[in-house]
């Protein structure tokens, strides 16, 4: 069984949980507390010098960077496919995924937000405006390409949804106004009906805080 090192709120880790579930692959979760800085600790850096999550331990190899891991999963476990069969359609899907992975998420990850707060001295209002700006700008183009029904390029959730759903989760955490993006919100609602997405949700992870009341 593979091991997934990640953090419950990490959108990159969330992506992998969804994909592993869609592929029907069992995995063990190994929490890495980003807030506590465990990713920078000596023990974790010994297995991942990048000091990032996620990391997938296949039993014979340790793979890093979610997009690379997702490509490996698709090649190693081609059924069910998360990419369309047509080469041009695959390129379009990759473009949408990279838009989320490269143009939205990196600008709003924990390290960037901490730099804004701790090094540049920005207050929470400024940090939240920063977050909302990049998410909104990224979602505007995704909304323009989103289908009126169904999913991006498929009758069932596939690779674009693997990237999109975690980003919508984070947008809600930071109170980003999603009213201008009804198609994206509708796709997210449809994904909630799939067990693979439900089991991957941050609230259902072993390192998620529990309500002790």
Question: Following DSSP, what letter does each residue of 30-63 receive, concatenated?
Answer: EE--TTTTGGGSHHHHHH-TT--S-EEE-SS-EE
The domain defined by 2-80 folds into: Glutaredoxin (3.40.30)
What residues are paired with 62 via a beta bridge? 57
Are residues 144 and 137 in contact, defined by beta-carbon separation less than 8 angstroms?
A: no
Model pTM score: 0.95
Whether residue 50 is preceded by a cis peptide bond, meaning omega within 30 degrees of 0, is no
For domain 87-198, which architecture applies?
A: Up-down Bundle (1.20)
Q: What is the largest CA-CA distance in the chain?
A: 52
What residues are paired with 57 via a beta bridge? 3, 62
Going by DSSP bridges, is the β-strand pair 62-64/55-57 parallel, antiparallel, or unpaired? antiparallel
Cβ within 8 Å of residue 210, ≥6 positions away: none
pLDDT in tens, 121-169: 999 999 999 999 999 999 999 999 999 999 997 789 999 999 999 999 9
Report helix, strand or coil for 122: coil
pLDDT in tens, 185-213: 999 999 998 999 999 999 999 999 976 44
Domain boundaries, given as residue ranges, for the chain: 2-80, 87-198
pLDDT in tens, 36-84: 999 999 999 999 999 999 999 999 999 999 999 999 999 999 999 999 9
Rounded to whole angstroms, how far apart are CA atoms 70 and 63?
A: 10
């Amino acid at each position: 069984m593979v091991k997934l090192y990640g953090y419950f709120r990490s959108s990159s880790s969330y992506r992998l949980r969804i994909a592993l579930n869609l592929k029907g692959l069992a995995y063990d979760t190994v929490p890495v507390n980003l807030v506590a800085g465990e990713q920078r600790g000596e023990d974790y850096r010994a297995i991942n010098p990048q000091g990032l999550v996620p990391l997938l331990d296949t039993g014979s190899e340790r793979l890093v960077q979610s997009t690379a891991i997702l490509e490996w999963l698709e090649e190693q476990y081609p059924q069910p496919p998360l990419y369309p069969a047509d080469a041009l359609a695959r390129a379009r899907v990759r473009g949408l995924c990279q838009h989320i992975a490269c143009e939205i998420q990196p600008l709003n990850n924990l390290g960037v937000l901490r730099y804004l707060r701790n090094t540049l001295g920005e207050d929470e209002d400024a940090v939240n405006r920063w977050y909302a700006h990049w998410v909104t700008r990224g979602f505007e183009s995704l909304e323009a390409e989103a289908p009126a029904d169904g999913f991006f390029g498929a009758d069932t959730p596939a690779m674009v949804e693997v990237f999109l759903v975690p980003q919508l989760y984070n947008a809600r955490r930071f109170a980003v106004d999603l009213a201008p993006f009804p198609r994206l919100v509708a796709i997210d609602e449809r994904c909630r009906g799939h067990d693979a997405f439900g089991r991957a949700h941050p609230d259902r992870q072993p390192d998620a805080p529990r309500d002790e009341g």
